[in-house]
Chain A
């Protein structure tokens, strides 16, 4: 039973345009939400996070939106750059737990 769903395995956008990556979750117990980025042959690295008490968090070109009523999380990258090409994981953190829950990932390709 998937607790975290990233329904798009891949996404391709043109350089300079907006990339929107989506994530749905099923359990309301999560109280913080993260995006991790992974390049080939490297471990995942933290990108941006948001707590359950907020609906938006922005860091430079990256913005994460949280819609708790819809149990939906999205990551916006604008403008997209070729160096953003990577696999992006939606990651959820249950309150009071050490155990993060990872989605399957979306492979983003930004074309020059």
Chain B
């Protein structure tokens, strides 16, 4: 099925470890996003990208880094993991946000990360 693929689905990290959450889309979408969802909360934007080579910070970027070397891939890097980064991470992509109501967001199934 075409869409957004996230790996891994689950991960446990120790405090201070690093890891990369992978995200790939095969819909040729220009826009890609990383969100995190904490228990009982809505999704908060971490970083987003409007095209290959272009990234920008969202609402909660601290402790994360991103890169966008291709249209398809948008990895999220966690350096020096902290318990506050325990969350579910969602990657999404869209063609033209805001066009026709912004319904073009396609989300991956999420990565559940626990930092202990």
**Chain A interfacial positions (CB closer than 8 Å to B):** 4, 9, 31-32, 34, 36, 41-46, 49-51, 89, 91, 93, 95-100, 102-105
Cβ B107 vs Cβ A44 within 8 A:
yes
Q: Which residues of chain A are near B50, meaning CB under 8 Å? A: 98
Chain B interface size range: 20 to 34
Cβ A99 vs Cβ B45 within 8 A:
yes
Cβ A43 vs Cβ B110 within 8 A:
yes
B92 contacts A by Cβ under 8 Å:
yes
The digit string for B30-67, where 1 denotes a CB below 8 A from any CB of A, is 01010100001111110010100000001100000000
A2 to chain B, nearest CB (A): 9
Cβ B102 vs Cβ A100 within 8 A:
yes
Tell me, in angstroms, the Cα distance from A104 to B105 when the chains sit together. 18
**10 closest Cβ pairs, A-B complex:** A43-B107, A49-B101, A102-B42, A102-B43, A93-B102, A46-B103, A104-B42, A98-B97, A32-B101, A44-B107
